[in-house]
Amino acid sequence: MAESSPARHLLIPFAGRGSPACRALLPGIRLPRLEALLARLAPASIDTQDDTTFSPPHERALAAALGLQAADGCIPWAACDARRLGLPGSEGDTAWGWIDLCNWQVDLSDVVLGDPAQTRLEADESQTLLDAARPLFEEDAIRLHMTSTPGRWLACGDLFRTLPTASLDRAIGNSISQWSHMTDAGRPLRRLQNEVQMLLYTERVNDQRTARGLPPINSFWLSGTGAMPASVQPDGVEPVVVDSLRDAALRDDGAGWAAAWHAVDDGPVAELLADCERGADVALTLCGDSSAQRFSVQQRGLSGWIKRTFNRPRAATVLEAL
């Protein structure tokens, strides 16, 4: 079951980041509104695993807030998306996954997953590639559906029911081998991926993209796999998710990440602090590479005043622990 829901819950992915440039800037970061808010809140729960889980802390925290329980790498985000869109079969106990078209960056020693959002794929290109790839997926009893995001398809098939997959937020910018599906259960996916890669190599869409100076689409990434039975309904109030730290964090752009944090401190965090000061029931969840820590309103009165006045936490210390 989901935890009791506050009036307003802010969830901040990539609040802490262990990559070199972001971590180097963290000790000097100054976030006065976050510190004022933390002084008014108390730690409520913490989920600590490690940075090798397929599902990153912010996805686990969001699933917990919604009352979704699943194994690592099997939070059924694609099934939730399909049900929201009313796609055929989504109301039943069907398994889904997200297919994100992407550019695998190949050099002499490694293959790295590029950010699909940076491919600048257009809707008509996505549709052309889906039409070409559909027969390959159908051979494995997988049905493909377009989404409003060019380059992201929803795929329905029993292969995805118990197949754990790494979130894009784990894999982007990292070696494919670190997050690929090396188990026997992932063998059909690897074969399908190889077939799609050969198909993409021959597609005219890629010739046209290369002529425009854009990276070719040479593979796909599967994530968000799992099934959501019809009897299961997300029963929590969805937090407000602040995604503005994500891009800089994934690029390890320390200066950009710090600037994004200052904007978050001036915006969403300042608004939550104002709500808290007015006496509203608020919650804050800060997420890093290995932990998600939830803070909620502490007991009011003299003890709370003493904490706010004499024991104000440093934002950098809290974020470093994530």
In order of start, what are the domains of the chain with their CATH numbers? 8-67+236-320 (no CATH), 77-227 (3.30.70)
The yes-or-no verdict on residue 249 having pLDDT over 80 is yes
The yes-or-no verdict on residue 95 having pLDDT over 90 is yes
Burial class (CB in 10 A: 0-12, 13-18, 19+), 144: middle
If one compares 107 and 177, the residue with the highest pLDDT of the two is 177
| pLDDT on residue 206 | 94
What's the predicted TM-score (pTM) here? Answer: 0.91
How far apart, in whole angstroms, are the C-alpha atoms of residue 191 and residue 20? 35
Q: pLDDT by residue (tens digit) across 198-228?
A: 999 999 999 999 999 999 999 999 999 999 8
Query: Which of 149-153, 243-247, 314-318 is least confident?
Result: 314-318
Distances (CA, A) of 33 to 13, 138, 212: 18, 52, 45
- The mean pLDDT value for 125-134 works out to 96
Looking at every residue in the chain, the average pLDDT score rounds to: 90
